[in-house]
Amino acid sequence: MNKISHRAYFALILACVLLLGAVAFTGRYFAQADQWVGHSGNMHIYDNSGNLDVNLSIRDRDGTMLYSTQDGRTFADDSETRKAVLHLTGDRNGNIPSILLDEYGGDLIGYNKLTGLHGTVAQEGDEILTVSAEVQRAALSALGDYAGAVGVYNYKTGEILCAVSTPTFDPDNVPEIEGNPAYEGVYVNRFLQSTYTPGSIFKLVTTVAAIEQLPDWDSRTWTCEGSCKIGNDTVYCHGYHGTVTMEEALAHSCNVAYAQIAAELGEDVLKQYVSQLGICDRLSFDGYRTRAGSFTLEDSPDFDVGWAGIGQHDDLINPCQYMTFMGAIANGGEAASPYLVKQVTSNDKTTYQAKTTMLEETINARTARKLRDMMRNNVQTMYGAITLDLPVCAKSGTAEVSADGSVTNATFAGFIDDEDYPLAFVVVVENGGSGSETAAPIANTVLWECIDVLDAE
Amino acid sequence: MYLLQTLQEFGRFLRDSEWLVNACCTVLRFVFPVLALWILVRCISSLLRFRKEPEIWGWLTLPDGTLLPVTHWENLIGRANSCDIVVDYPTLSKSHAVLTRYDDGSWSISDIGGRGGVAVNGKSESFCAINFGDVISLGGVEMSLEPVTQEDREEGYLERTKAGRRVRPAPTLLLLTLFQLLTAFELGLNIDLQGVGTVLLDFAALIALEWLLFFGLKALRRSGYEIETMAFFLITIGFATISSGNPGLLTKQLICVVIGIVIYLILGWLLRDLERAKKFRYVAAVGGIGLLLATIVFGTEIYGAKNWIFIGGFSIQPSELAKLCFIFVGASTMDRIVTKRNLISFIAYSAVVCLLLALMSDFGTALVFFTAFLVIAFLRSGSFAAVSLIVTATGFAGSLLLSVKPYIKRRFEAWGHAWDYAQTSGYQQVCAMMCIASGGLFGLGLGNGWLKYVAASDTDLVFAFVSEEWGLLVALMMVVCIAAIAFFVVRSASVARSSFYTIGACAAATILVVQTILNVFGTVDLLPLTGVTFPFVSNGGSSMLASWGLLAFIKAADTRQNASFAVRLSREGEEIHE
């Protein structure tokens, strides 16, 4: 009998599984119940025809109504605003989900995890975003017919002022999308949910590694004769830069110099910095999870390493994540985590208030300062398109996305080094040609608008 | 008559005043969890804090005059520390013999391959009935069995915790009755008027039933009523969900509770006599296969599983009752376990059951049987290796099945991603989680739920149903109830009289736990939804009958003094005064 009764403890394993599972579920309940409750099938908050009993609205930072659940779904008053914020509000058919509303569904209706929906359902729920409708419209107009993304955020607080993705459409006047190449991938939020070949803006990552790993980096020079051999392949430059310092190489975006620097640093060092700076990581905020980037070197030949170090090879970055890298350089090595939702109120009672948190990935403050100076030099010497009377620091890129180099994405990323306008930005223009020619003017326009908006506040 | 009319008028008055209804519900949603917790704490503390003092059935005297207590009906004697009676003489084997007591008080000894054999009164025996005073020689060591004296008995009686002495069962049952009255009251306020009469009557009948059983057992001088109280607690919550969703079915459920209790009493009576129970195993073996065969031949397919038989307007699920038969077949006494180490006949039986279940293609039920099989196999063999081997083999077979039959795989596609399949295969789970969230910790009030409009909400999704109307706290307490029963079973296993009872009780508790795991975790998308019922709570007659049957096995292993009607008193008929 002794033996048998000892064996009986086997039956306890299952009872423990039951209890542990119950605990796990309870944990999940406290983490997610406010999202579950907002499900559109919930008849406690939706009426029989699928309309909310509660009136929920999304507003921009100035209070402009962008989306409301009144009378089914109501969008902003003018078509340009509707188009400019479409990827944040979602469309009428759910092809673009309303993630920001779903994420804060519980807060909007005044839901509380302890007492449930019992007697607490609100009449009005307002979600105030950090974006500005004016900036959104300016960015949309600056992008014109190009597909791409523009993002601007305050690297000290984390507020995203601009998050535009094109192509877009007017949800109140839906065009023929199926089969129309102009609307390819229109349902994707390119700023948050897509990745791009970065091109030369990635040289900033290589520069961070070089500043920290090459002891004599600021006294060394590299020679560019239009091309150079690395391993058995040839890297071509877009010009003939002669003998250059690293600062000059960055300003001229010299591929020959940077491919040599990258090859010298080697695969392991580059990978370590990509991981340390979080370049390919995902960001999670307000219900969004940004798409992960990629940096895939695995015992690769030096040519590939060099090519990857200048933002080609298989490199992919997410625009929003890269924007926070700019923020980190700007803010002395540490950037705020970006967010889109500033405040949620339910029946005029605040149920959610965004808080500034800092991202874990940091850059050494000295490195950040050096890099800032180099990026400032870029703007002063190379980017005439930037007309702002503020210390803008930036890097452009022209990312080859077709094998023959005929299709290029224009990229431009940087920040304003100013206490009153602490803004980091990223611009990606698909098939846009040169970064400094196409993307830089867009950044310039959007930043002007941002400064107007901040001045007005 | 006048009183009834006054009550009716009062009820209408209450219902008509929205303010009063709201006020009552607002108060009650906090009262219910408190009452439920109080009831459970009383039951569970009584079950888990009793003193594990063994019963003493005889004494074994060794050559040096030492007296060793014989504390079970089946005792392994040998040199090893894991034996029940450790006789540390070098000539004995580690496991030498099994000393067995029978219902009628007679004893036997069987040789299980000990070095030097077994001799009784000088004659070498492999199996032999013995009397008190006989000289038993194990490997040359002579000993004899002595009876317990009246003094021993009285001492033991005083030492052993009498069930229900520390935590009296009657006040607990009174609390439960209050809980039920308040439940019926709130339902009366909230549900459609036409159902109110039935609901109130059925709740009254349930209360009468639990007190009747209580006094009936009391008349048999049995006072352990914690497990029954917990069962009635779960039934009450089940009744409330049926009243909220489908009051027309409540009377049927009540009738099934009555039949369930009858089954519980009959099984308990069968089990209290070990010889009778052992003989019944053969009937059960045939019966179990018969029930499953009948399902396959006469059954009707619902939701892809052939699990139901319709007879004259009634539908029954014979596989539920087959579980009870399966436990009977799996349970075994010590002498058999030790002498016939192999499990071949039980494995063969299980294989047949498995095949029949596969033909029914009811995945959930098959899983319940499989886990019960594992626990029984482990209790009997004690071999982790064997059990792991079985699990691995089954895992392979399962994955093979998945690759051969893609439609089975499709049923699991939503598992863990219910929200991505919110409109299709994940619909039920999504509704369930949404309703759990809506209910919060304290619920929206009985009868105020919305989940009742979703298919199978009072069976497969009952955890969410309860969570929505009663709140997550009460729903979690249902889970704790089941887990507590399992903990009690394992705790009392060490003082059970026969391994037959230990195995039976462990298997029964396992089935209760596994059903709860599959039901609850299926509802909340931690596991695939398999349509297994929550014991005592889910709406369904067959499940109710089976749940009561399982309780009988658990009661048969409850050897606390005067606890269980399914256990004979140490000396039947003899009054021992305190």
Other beta carbons within 10 angstroms of residue B167's beta carbon come to 18
Using CA coordinates, name the residue in chain A closest to B84: A2
What whole-number distance in Å separates Cα of residue B365 and Cα of residue B221?
37
What whole-number distance in Å separates Cα of residue B352 and Cα of residue B77?
36
Minimal CA separation from B337 to chain A, in Å: 10
Cα dihedral sign, A348-A350-A352-A353: positive
pLDDT at res. A231: 78
Of A1, A28, A115, the CB nearest to B74: A1
Cα dihedral sign, A108-A110-A116-A118: negative
pLDDT at res. B573: 41
pLDDT at res. A111: 84
Chain A partners of B430 at a C-beta cutoff of 8 Å?
39, 41
pLDDT at res. B577: 39
Are A36 and B426 in contact by the 8 Å Cβ rule? The answer is no
Sheet holding B314-316, edge to edge: B300-302, B305-311, B314-316
- Topology of A197-311 in CATH? Beta-lactamase (3.40.710)
Measured distance between the N- and C-terminal CA atoms of chain B, rounded to whole angstroms: 48
Say what the pTM is: 0.77
Of B431, B435, B510, the CB nearest to A11: B510
pLDDT at res. B409: 66
Instruction: Tell me the mean pLDDT in the region A111-140.
Output: 85
pLDDT at res. B209: 96
| Cβ–Cβ below 8 Å for A2 and B83 | yes
Of B437, B444, B450, the CB nearest to A36: B437
Minimal CA separation from A116 to chain B, in Å: 3
Minimal CA separation from A2 to chain B, in Å: 6
Distance of CA A373 to the CA centre of its chain: 24
| Cβ–Cβ below 8 Å for A118 and B444 | yes
Using CA coordinates, name the residue in chain B closest to A118: B444
Helix residue ranges per DSSP H, A145-290: 190-193, 203-213, 246-252, 255-276
Are A163 and A186 in contact by the 8 Å Cβ rule? The answer is no
Distance of CA B206 to the CA centre of its chain: 20
Using CA coordinates, name the residue in chain A closest to B332: A4
| Cβ–Cβ below 8 Å for B513 and A18 | yes
pLDDT at res. B523: 92
Chain A partners of B476 at a C-beta cutoff of 8 Å?
22, 26
pLDDT at res. B405: 62
Chain A partners of B336 at a C-beta cutoff of 8 Å?
none
Q: For residue A197, what are the CA distances in angstroms to A200, A317, B84, B574?
A: 9, 6, 74, 90
| Cβ–Cβ below 8 Å for A41 and B510 | no
Minimal CA separation from A30 to chain B, in Å: 9
Angle of helix B226-245 relative to helix B193-219, nearest 10 degrees, comes to 170
| Cβ–Cβ below 8 Å for B479 and A19 | yes
Chain A partners of B442 at a C-beta cutoff of 8 Å?
114-116, 118
Q: For residue A40, what are the CA distances in angstroms to A52, A105, B474, B538?
A: 8, 10, 26, 27
Using CA coordinates, name the residue in chain B closest to A39: B434
Q: Does residue A123 carry a pLDDT above 90?
A: no
Instruction: Tell me the mean pLDDT in the region A136-143.
Output: 92
Q: Of residues B402 and A78, which shows the higher confidence score? A: A78
Max mean pLDDT range (A243-252, A293-302, B25-34): B25-34
Instruction: Tell me the mean pLDDT in the region A21-38.
Output: 90
Of B84, B440, B520, the CB nearest to A116: B440
Q: Of residues A92 and B534, which shows the higher confidence score? A: B534
Q: For residue A257, what are the CA distances in angstroms to A223, A252, A263, A403, B535?
A: 7, 10, 10, 22, 73
Query: What pLDDT, in 10s, does the model give residues A343-381?
Result: 999 888 888 899 999 988 788 889 999 999 999 998 888
Q: What is the ipTM of this complex?
A: 0.90
What whole-number distance in Å separates Cα of residue A38 and Cα of residue A223?
61
| Cβ–Cβ below 8 Å for B450 and A42 | yes
pLDDT at res. A421: 92
Give the A:B interface size as CB pairs under 8 Å: 167
| Cβ–Cβ below 8 Å for A118 and B502 | no
| Cβ–Cβ below 8 Å for B494 and A2 | yes
Chain A residues at the B interface, defined by Cβ less than 8 Å, are: 1-12, 14-15, 17-19, 21-22, 24-26, 28-29, 32-34, 36-37, 39, 41-44, 106, 111-119
| Cβ–Cβ below 8 Å for A21 and B487 | no
Low-confidence ranges of chain B (pLDDT < 50): 572-578
Q: Does residue A72 carry a pLDDT above 80?
A: no
| Cβ–Cβ below 8 Å for A37 and B438 | yes
pLDDT at res. B512: 96
Using CA coordinates, name the residue in chain B closest to A29: B437
| Cβ–Cβ below 8 Å for A21 and B521 | yes
pLDDT at res. B578: 34
Q: Of residues B562 and A244, which shows the higher confidence score? A: A244
DSSP A419: S
Domain ranges within chain A, ordered by starting residue: 197-311
Q: Taking Cα atoms as reference points, which of B508, B539, B535 lies closest to residue B519?
A: B535
Of B472, B479, B496, the CB nearest to A18: B479
Question: Mean pLDDT in chain A?
Answer: 87
pLDDT at res. B126: 82
Are A358 and A350 in contact by the 8 Å Cβ rule? The answer is no
What whole-number distance in Å separates Cα of residue B393 and Cα of residue B387?
10
Chain B partners of A118 at a C-beta cutoff of 8 Å?
26, 29, 440, 442-445
Q: What percent of chain A has pLDDT over 90?
A: 37
pLDDT at res. A384: 79
